[in-house]
Amino acid sequence: MIVDRFTKFILSIIAFSLCLNALNPWISPTLANANEDFAMERAIKKISGGINKIADNTEKMVEIENDLLVYWPMMYGSKNIVAMFLEQSLEERSMSGSACSKEGKLE
């Protein structure tokens, strides 16, 4: 009979321990310790990179618009903007000197 009492006692302790293990999340819940700093820093870097790209593209667009506003009066006699830029590049070639260009050596 002593063995029966000992076995019942040990099984009771095991059962009680298993119940405590099962109830542990409700008795003392653990806090969620997510690594928020790393995730936030990575997200902020992605956002700032996107903002920088947008800013660069906006600056390029402003430069192009400013160039168009400067050259717009010159376009009055030209058929289109492509012709205006071709005329300008031809003028720059003629001013650069014929000795340095291939066309000047061939003529």
Model confidence pLDDT, tens digit, residues 53-73? 998 888 888 888 777 766 665
Assigned domain for 104 exists: no
Question: In this predicted structure, what is the pLDDT of residue 62?
Answer: 84
Q: How many domains does the chain have?
A: 1
Whether pLDDT at 76 is above 90: no
**54, HSE (Cβ side, Cα atoms, 13 Å):** 6
Angle at 80 between CA 74 and CA 84, to 5 degrees: 45
Assigned domain for 92 exists: yes
20: CB partners within 8 A, 6+ apart: 27
Q: Kindly state the DSSP code that residue 17 receives in the 8-state scheme.
A: H
pTM reported for the whole predicted model: 0.34
Residue 86 structural domain: 52-96
Question: In this predicted structure, what is the pLDDT of residue 29?
Answer: 77
Measured between alpha carbons, how far is 66 from 56 in angstroms, rounded to an integer? Answer: 15
Assigned domain for 4 exists: no
Assigned domain for 1 exists: no
Assigned domain for 57 exists: yes
